[in-house]
Amino acid sequence: MLGLALERSGDAAGATASFEAASHLDPNDVDIVIHLGAMYLRNARPADAEAKFRHALELQPQSPAALQGLAQSLDAQKKSDAADAYRNYLAVAPRDDAARNRLLHILIAQQQYDAALAEIDRASAGQQPTVDTLKLRADVQIAQKKLDDAIVTLRQAVALAPNDAPLHGGLGHVLLQKRDFPAAEKELKNALQLDRNNLAYWKDLSSVFYLGGNYPATLSALDVIAKAETPNAGQWFIRALCYDKLDEVQPALDAYRKFLELDQNRTLTRCGRRTSVSMFLRKGSEQEVGQESRPRNFRVRSRYFPSCVLIAFCRRQDQGAAGSFDRDPHAATRIKTLDKLGPGRV
């Protein structure tokens, strides 16, 4: 009784000491053993908690509290038999949705997708699907990369909960992965109407705009994101590409240089090659170019850098503009070559 009083008063250390003392006096008192296990679990001692809950189950094999405690202590230690422990607990407490959700997340993490779906089917047998079960089913389908099935499931969930922002946002994200940009835009805008300040939705929407070729809208979305967090190198890179597509040369060049400053000359793995942006630009400034021919390695460089930015860069070099690159004596020739090719040819 003293242990319970101390626990209720918030004295965790005193409660643990009291339960330990009581357990020494009567090591087979199930209630004391379970309470001590719970205190160990609460105090981040899952291995000690596991031992107590196992002992409690030896004394009372169908104890819901002991079965739940064992599952939670195994889960806290990330042990592989946590899933089985949760199943044993759910056999005596089938209405514990939190435990079932935790079991499903463990099964998904272990890539036991069929077992996860079987668990969902078992929980919803003979009942109309709920938003929670549909969300879990969609999680499994996404993990299985069955995106078409996940879209159907998420649409069912949205129909049941039209004001659930995460549902709209999640559906928009999956539609983005499927490159259904109009549908993704619609769902992400619905999500933002319900949760205006969610940066994850704004970032997905900026991707939808960019991949769909709506560059002004991409810049507007990036502006919203920039008000909430400092833009990273990747965001500056996308911003530069948008300006370039809109033939806004100076903003594009400024954004590329901001990207280079933040990127710290790291590899642009997204471009598919392990060569830094600055290396491409440096190569471009060092190579001589014949007036009637493309620059050497021009095809490689132009795959990554739109022509108007290269032209702008060359013009600044020709004018001797201050910057991180030396003046290029062949810049004027390169300008003529690039101008002749034109932005659409690169």
> What's 211's domain CATH number?
1.25.40.10
pLDDT for 61 equals 93
pLDDT higher at 216 or 101: 216
In the listed set 212, 228, 244, which residue is the last one of a domain according to the structure?
Answer: 228
Same structural domain for residues 236 and 339? Answer: yes
Residue 202 Cα distances to 50, 166, 224, angstroms: 44, 13, 8
Q: Is residue 18 part of a domain?
A: no
Same structural domain for residues 223 and 259? Answer: no
pLDDT for 314 equals 43
Q: Is residue 320 part of a domain?
A: yes
Q: Which domain holds residue 342?
A: 230-346
Same structural domain for residues 235 and 224? Answer: no
Q: Among 136-140, 215-219, 329-333, name the one with the lowest average pLDDT.
A: 329-333
Model confidence at 307: pLDDT above 60? no
Confidence band, pLDDT 50/70/90 cuts, at residue 38:
confident
Same structural domain for residues 201 and 273? Answer: no
Same structural domain for residues 287 and 324? Answer: yes
Model confidence at 316: pLDDT above 90? no
pLDDT higher at 229 or 271: 229
CB atoms within 10 A of CB 337: 21
Q: Among 44-58, 62-76, 191-205, 273-287, name the one with the lowest average pLDDT.
A: 273-287
In the listed set 228, 261, 284, which residue is the last one of a domain according to the structure?
Answer: 228
Would you state the structure tokens that stand for residue 258, as one six-digit string? 């901001």
Residues 291 and 298: their CA atoms lie apart, in Å, by 14
Model confidence at 190: pLDDT above 80? yes
Q: Is residue 202 part of a domain?
A: yes
pLDDT higher at 263 or 134: 134
Model confidence at 111: pLDDT above 80? yes
Q: Is residue 204 part of a domain?
A: yes
Would you state the structure tokens that stand for residue 182, as one six-digit string? 């109009």
Same structural domain for residues 322 and 340? Answer: yes
Residues 321 and 255: their CA atoms lie apart, in Å, by 16
SS3 205: helix
Specify the DSSP class assigned to residue 345: G
**pLDDT digits over 6-30, tens only?**
445 554 566 666 656 666 666 678 8
- The share of the chain scoring above pLDDT 70, in percent, equals 68
CB atoms within 10 A of CB 297: 12
Would you state the structure tokens that stand for residue 268, as one six-digit string? 């642009």
Q: Is residue 29 part of a domain?
A: no
SS3 119: helix
Spatial contact of 35 and 23, defined as CB atoms under 8 Å apart? no
Same structural domain for residues 173 and 243? Answer: no
**pLDDT digits over 153-173, tens only?**
999 999 999 999 999 999 999
Same structural domain for residues 286 and 193? Answer: no
Q: Is residue 327 part of a domain?
A: yes
pLDDT for 322 equals 36
Q: Is residue 207 part of a domain?
A: yes
Same structural domain for residues 201 and 301? Answer: no
Rg (CA), the chain: 30
Q: Is residue 129 part of a domain?
A: no
Same structural domain for residues 293 and 330? Answer: yes
Spatial contact of 257 and 302, defined as CB atoms under 8 Å apart? no
pLDDT for 294 equals 39
Residue 68 Cα distances to 75, 151, 161, 250, angstroms: 10, 34, 31, 63
Residues 206 and 252: their CA atoms lie apart, in Å, by 17
Residues 147 and 161: their CA atoms lie apart, in Å, by 20
For residues 45-49, give the mean pLDDT: 92
Residues 132 and 308: their CA atoms lie apart, in Å, by 50
* Count: domains in the chain: 2
Residues 262 and 148: their CA atoms lie apart, in Å, by 38
CA 80 to chain centre: 25
In the listed set 204, 228, 252, which residue is the last one of a domain according to the structure?
Answer: 228
Same structural domain for residues 200 and 234? Answer: no
How many CA atoms lie less than 13 Å away from 191 in the CB half-sphere?
A: 25
pLDDT higher at 336 or 144: 144
Same structural domain for residues 267 and 180? Answer: no
Model confidence at 312: pLDDT above 60? no
Name the pTM for this structure.
Answer: 0.66
